[in-house]
A and B are shown apart, each in its own frame.
Chain A
Amino acid sequence: MMAPLHQLGAALYLAAALLAWAGLALRSGRLERASVLVLAAGAAVHLAALASLHRADPPPPLTDPAAALSFMAWIGVLAFLALQRRARLAGLTVLVAPVAFVGAFAAALRAPAVSPAAFAGSGSWPHAHVLLASAGAALIGLSGLAGLLFLAEHRRLKSHRPLDAKLPLPSLEALDGVNRVALALGFPLLTLGVATGMLWVASERGTFWSGSVHEVWSTLAWGVCALLVAARFGAGQGSRQAAVAAVGGFAFLLFALIGVELLA
């Protein structure tokens, strides 16, 4: 059941992405709004796909990279949908929907293959770790996507070749707002994810630090994100610098959480 629902969710995300890009090409606010609705429908189906995991016997863990990516995509879409109700953000769907599609599609390709027996005796730490870390990473990802669009628009404005005002894209101020809010919410969740990960390791091996590749890279990524937060909220970093940092931070986090696993 999981794969078909994931496939449907991925298809809806893809449809949302196509609608958003068509809206951009045709300068149609109506298409942009339609893309948000389709994205929301995709998120609902995606939730059903994730929920179906728990009905499986035995339930597959979320620690599989594809499943974790799928969960991150869902949280990211959810956060975007929540934020876009407060600001003129529908245009950000051009980036959020394709990324969500990749996340859901990765999970649709294959079912998690990790044996649940591997987590016997760890209690709820594995799931708490994956849920919190994925949610944190998803929000930092959203911050990075907003940063990416911010940099594109900033560059056009600075070079005195501004984008057409009729293009249904968010303003710099709205994008900076997404960057700030997503980072402010994402970093505490990521911190909790790292903490629960350590508790998981402690419950299994009796030590908080096992020195695995995943642990090393995750801790490094957390450190990078901590620097982003300090620069943004402590040192009064400018909007453009914050956008560059968000894009870089998310790229590093993605590599640390997914890339390292895939390369290992």
Chain B
Amino acid sequence: MRVLLVGMSHRTAPLDLRERLAAPDPLPALRKLVASEEVDEAVILSTCNRVEVVATTRSLDAARLRVRSFLRRELAECDLGPEVESSLYEHVDGDAMRHVLRVACSLDSMVLGEPQILGQTKDAYRGALEARAAGPVLGRLFQQAFATAKRVRAETRVAERPLSVARVAVDLAKRIFEGLADKRALLLGAGEMIEAAVEALRGAGLAHIAVANRTPERASELAARCGGTAHGLEELPRLLAEADLLLACIAAPQPLLGAAQVEAALRPRRGRPLFVIDLGVPRNVERAVERLDDVYLYDVDDLAAVAEANAAARHQERARAEAIVGEEKLRFDAWLAALRAVPTIRHLRERAERIRAAELERVAGPLALGEAEREAVEYLTRSLVNKLLHAPMTQLRRAAEREEGGAMLEVARLLFDLDADPDAVSEPPDREPSDDA
């Protein structure tokens, strides 16, 4: 059994090519792929940053051609041409397994540690199950990938710190305020940037929002969207005195708020902090405001610098996450290797069962066993067989996980005569061979 992964990602293909390959519903194509002889199991992971096919096969070369052809011609329901070949990468066996684990852990993502990829990987596996394209090997591989991602999140800080300006603002607000539910936010401006930031803050519980803008209509529109109240700029001094958070992003050549104006607003607040997020370029709030004791002013550059520091901190955690991936891959390798023992163990059990059943038939007739006696003898013989086989089967499984396990499996087949004709083994010797036999 070989594992093959073929695909393209943001690292190898431009967006327009990835867009052409992205299939809104890849399941019909996936069903066709696993119906072909070359591929036993398959999962398609299709996101905005990657399209990958993970497959198991008994014939690697044939599967390689089949999957490449599938990506080029079938997934997008049109021929993408030969240029797609240069954007495809391929991983086999251990490398393919490691790649799946790394993708699920977001170690191969454009934004390291981003959380969406794990959900997308789960969706891809769920889709493959639905299409009956995923079997025991890919099932185990993807379950291992999900467990690895969980471990990486729990044991490293690779996904801990926020990277977007809006999320950084939310984290800062949480360091300043006990909660956002009872806080008042003043939005100075009504543009898209401010809306994105306020959405993140609303997600963290912010409820009381006032929007002040030069154009009252736009203030009303944004206020309606975020459940706030709309105001004109003339109300700014009063609104500022009431606000706990100020989000400013308004097009103006000069700062709209000076230090004196903010200081005047602070006076009646009796030490209540004011968190100012200035997203305006040029700035809407004078830099001198920063010197005021209870004001925490962050402009776009400050927020970006925090986001960059967070990204650097995430990258420092990469090595620990990679080590976890390595450990988990070894576990999967061991499980996959143990699969080699399955046919031998199955044969061994079948042969033992045949012998047991035949011997039981041989003695049950002459002894004229009643139903209760027969059940007792059935139980006895089955129990004997199970106990006798338990140790060799366990040892075979363990041996199969090791590199030299193949030899042990061969010896087992020889010792128990498992490659003989099944009918021929139904007549075992009646008694133990003696030395002189």
Interface residues of A (CB under 8 A from B): 27, 87-88, 153, 157-158, 160-166, 170-174, 176-177, 236-242
Contact = CB atoms under 8 A, between A and B. Distances in A.
Nearest to B291: A158
A59 B174 CA distance: 50
Interface of B: 157, 160-162, 171-172, 174-178, 266-268, 270-273, 290, 293-294, 296, 298, 302, 305-306, 309
A141 to B, nearest CB: 21
B177 A173 contact: yes
A195 B172 CA distance: 45
B178 A162 contact: no
A160 B302 contact: yes
A151 B96 CA distance: 51
A27 to B, nearest CB: 7
B404 to A, nearest CB: 41
B160 A172 contact: no
A172 B157 contact: no
B160 A236 contact: no
Residue with the highest number of chain A CB atoms closer than 10 Å, among B162, B267, B294: B294
Nearest to B290: A158
Most buried by A among B160, B273, B296, B309: B273
Contacts, number: 69
A27 B175 contact: no
Given A172-B177, A239-B273, A242-B271, 15 more contacts: A88-B178, A157-B175, A160-B305, A162-B306, A165-B175, A166-B161, A171-B174, A171-B178, A172-B175, A177-B178, A236-B271, A238-B293, A239-B293, A240-B294, A241-B271
- Counting from the closest, the 3 A-B pairs by CB-CB distance are A165-B171, A239-B271, A238-B271
- Between A157, A174, A240, the greatest number of chain B beta carbons within 10 A of the residue's beta carbon is seen for A157
A153 B175 CA distance: 8
Nearest to A180: B271
Q: State the majority secondary structure of interface residues on A.
A: loop
Contacts of B298: 160
A166 B176 CA distance: 13
Given A160-B305, A160-B306, A238-B271, A87 B293 contact: no
B293 A240 contact: yes
A180 B296 CA distance: 21
Contact of A157 (B157, B176, B178, B309): B176
A162 B171 contact: yes
A105 B241 CA distance: 48
A245 to B, nearest CB: 11
A240 B270 CA distance: 11
Given A27-B157, A236-B271, A239-B294, A171 B302 contact: no
Contacts of A161: 309
Nearest to B161: A164
A157 B160 contact: no
A176 B293 CA distance: 13
Most buried by A among B162, B174, B175, B306: B175
Contacts of A238: 266, 271, 293-294
Given A166-B160, A239-B293, A176 B271 contact: yes
13 contacts: A157-B175, A161-B309, A162-B172, A165-B161, A165-B171, A172-B177, A172-B273, A176-B273, A236-B271, A239-B293, A240-B294, A241-B271, A242-B271
B300 to A, nearest CB: 12
A174 B160 contact: no
Contact of A174 (B157, B178, B266, B271): B178
Residue from A27, A88, A166, A238 with most neighbouring chain B CB atoms (10 Å): A238
Nearest to A88: B178
Contacts of A240: 293-294
Nearest to B305: A160
Contacts of A174: 178
A96 to B, nearest CB: 18
Contacts of B162: 165
A173 B160 contact: no
B217 to A, nearest CB: 35
Most A CB within 10 A of own CB, among B270, B296, B298: B270
A172 to B, nearest CB: 5
Instruction: Give the residue among B157, B176, B268 with the most A Cβ atoms within 10 A.
Output: B176
B33 to A, nearest CB: 42
